Amino acid sequence: MDVRDATTKDVDEIRRVATESLSASYGHAIDEETIRAAVDKWYSTDRLTQALNDADEIFVLAVEDGSVVGFAQSEISDGRETVGYLDWLHVVPEHRGGGIGSQLLARLKQKLVASGVDRLEGRVLTENEEGVTFYDEQGFSEVGERTVEIRGEAFTERVYTTFLDEGDESETGLSRRQTADGKTVYVTYDESMRGAKAPFFAAYLDEEHTERYGWMCGADESFDVAMDTMERLECNECGNRRKPVRWDAAYL
């Protein structure tokens, strides 16, 4: 098997793998029409071409006997720390269980480290039991949950993270800060939301992360961040906005 960078010539194969993988992972919980609409949006020719030509996108394929059997995709976001967001890791059903996902993740991590990424973050719906198990087996830490709405139905999405350089964890994991009105808050850098300029980091009123304060903008470290009921974030100081990710990229 060969693991290599994806190119624009792989668009049709990427769409095929995504469709087969999403159907196998979520077909019991999400209807076929929704999965087909998601593939059409996320893996359109224009969107894939843009991603494959973007220096901040990492896209690697697993190829066996001339056929693509899996791929992993990550976007890099700079700010207080440099985060790699693991958008997707797909393996076609008949090739699961043979270590292809682990090889794709290993190659992805190598490329992210070479790009100066400090931490890798991924998300998975709880309905995808194989995906949850994969994150656990690969040494990711579960750092939170959120509710996402897919065509009127609510699902729970788990957030996982891992530091690519374990030596950085004590430095970047938690930071005590003062807000503009003098309130002490604790910013956790292993719980974030992707932003257009830089990530947003969760802020709590206690070190145990039991009482949420809000969000800190990674672009200017401001706590003046507005959030609506759909968790759309915007920094009132610099205009940084949360970028859609995964399922909400299609349905927010």
User: How do residues 27-51 score in pLDDT, each as one tens digit?
Assistant: 999 999 999 988 998 899 999 999 9
Contacts of residue 69, defined as CB under 8 A and 6 or more positions apart, other chains included, come to 1, 17, 62, 63, 91, 92, 95, 100
Choose among 190, 203, 193, 202: nearest CA to 248.
193
pLDDT-wise least confident of 203-207, 212-216, 226-230: 226-230
Q: Label the pairing between strands 119-125 and 83-91.
A: parallel
At 56-75, the pLDDT tens digits run 999 999 999 999 999 999 99
Question: pLDDT value at position 172?
Answer: 46
Question: pLDDT value at position 250?
Answer: 44
Q: What is the C-alpha to C-alpha distance for residues 136 and 11, in angstroms, rounded to an integer?
A: 30
Q: What is the C-alpha to C-alpha distance for residues 117 and 131, in angstroms, rounded to an integer?
A: 23
Please list the residues that pair with 241 across neighbouring strands: 234
> How confident is residue 96, by pLDDT bands cut at 50, 70 and 90?
very high
Choose among 84, 103, 56: nearest CA to 165.
84
7, pLDDT greater than 90: yes
At 106-156, the pLDDT tens digits run 999 999 999 999 999 999 999 999 999 999 999 999 988 888 888 888 899
Give DSSP secondary structure letters for 41-109. Answer: HHT-HHHHHHHHT-TTEEEEEEEETTEEEEEEEEEEE-SSS-EEEEEEEEE-GGGTTSSHHHHHHHHHH
At 154-168, the pLDDT tens digits run 899 999 999 986 444
Q: What is the C-alpha to C-alpha distance for residues 144 and 191, in angstroms, rounded to an integer?
A: 7
